[in-house]
Amino acid sequence: MKILVTGGCGFIGSAVIRHAIGATGHEILNIDKMTYAASEAALDAANGHGRHRLVKADICDAAAMRDCLQSFQPDAVMHLAAESHVDRSIDGPAAFIETNIVGTFTLLEAAKDYFSTLDPDRKQRFRFHHISTDEVFGALEDNDPPFCETTAYDPRSPYSASKAASDHLARAWFHTYGLPVIVSNTTNNYGPWQFPEKLIPLVLLNAIEEKPLPVYGDGKNTRDWLYVEDHAQALLKVVETGTPGETYCIGAKQPRRNIDVVKTICALVDARLPSTSGARERLITFVKDRPGHDHRYEIDPKNAERALDWTAAHDFERGLAATIDWYLNHEGWWRQIRSGKYQGQRLGAAS
């Protein structure tokens, strides 16, 4: 299968490409704007591979998107390009509106025009896979059932509102124009190559360097965690076997309170790098909560597990241990980021 991937140098997109090149034999055209969190190094063996090509372009550039589709002639589009950090969206929402809404609209229009040129057999096979987040569903209280495919939308942040808008656009292009769109929503991802502004890499790198570990509020906000390699496998299953018009909620049923995630990271880092100053839990620092902080996210993935014949292979503790070991073995990469080499540096409190 020939797949056009947007955002393929990002955290999740690069994992998808690594799997697509290494295990499935797909041919990939990778479109990435190469913003602050993108990394060509994350592509690993896909760099220089005959079945992978990187085009540095903005999804808001309509002419570039049309040219890429017409020249590559993909069988599917996997749309992962997005601004995704809630703290950044609070500080500067305009970039989220531009990339997540205008960019998705631009890509949908280009895909619609391309789709119209395909013969009936290729139209039957074509897929537009729009990748989204569980944050579009709003927030849960402790006793609420997890999100699922029929949960009503209730976004609470500029980030989640922009992703909700893009989800609605994707579904509208399916119903109005017949573009064979599939939407997937997922929980918090973690794993190798994640830019260190998100909870897990931020805390583990601060723990390695014995710096304060900032935690918003009382630390009782709960997130459902999915190892990025498991998510990548699920996303490829969606584009290979998913049904147009359907939604797949992808998760691993691994909810944890933020404070418990931080304490687990402390224990795992302590076991690998004992400190003469004592256990790293001493570094936990509670800071003022961020505006509109959602209390809990959790997904019920049973529909996706059944439809895709997929389940997450990693439990949280094993995935977290593997993640910490990866960062310990890739110190050169993250130290460049921590030194301020990357643009737009804003490493906030754990979310």
Residues taking part in catalysis? 134-135, 159
Our CA angle for 209, 212, 216, nearest 5°, is 135
**Residue with structure tokens 């921590």?**
338
**Residue with structure tokens 């989800």?**
167
Strand arrangement of the beta sheet that strand 181-186 belongs to: 52-56, 27-32, 2-6, 76-79, 127-133, 181-186, 247-250
What's the burial of 151, exposed, middle or buried (CB within 10 Å: 0-12/13-18/19+)? Answer: buried
Half-sphere exposure of 276 (CA within 13 A, CB side): 0
Question: What residue type is 112 in one-letter code?
Answer: K
Strand partners, 5: 30, 78
- In sequence order, which residues have a C-beta less than 8 Å from that of residue 224 and are 6 or more positions away? 134, 146, 187, 188, 251, 252, 253, 254, 255, 297, 298, 299
How far apart, in whole angstroms, are the C-alpha atoms of residue 150 and residue 170? 16
Closest-CA residue to 11 (of 302, 323, 341): 323
- In sequence order, which residues have a C-beta less than 8 Å from that of residue 121 and are 6 or more positions away? none
Beta strand residue intervals within the chain, DSSP E: 2-6, 27-32, 52-56, 76-79, 127-133, 181-186, 188-190, 213-216, 222-227, 247-250, 255-257, 284-287
Strand partners, 54: 30
CB of 181 closer than 8 Å to CB of 174: yes
Closest-CA residue to 202 (of 269, 156, 139): 269
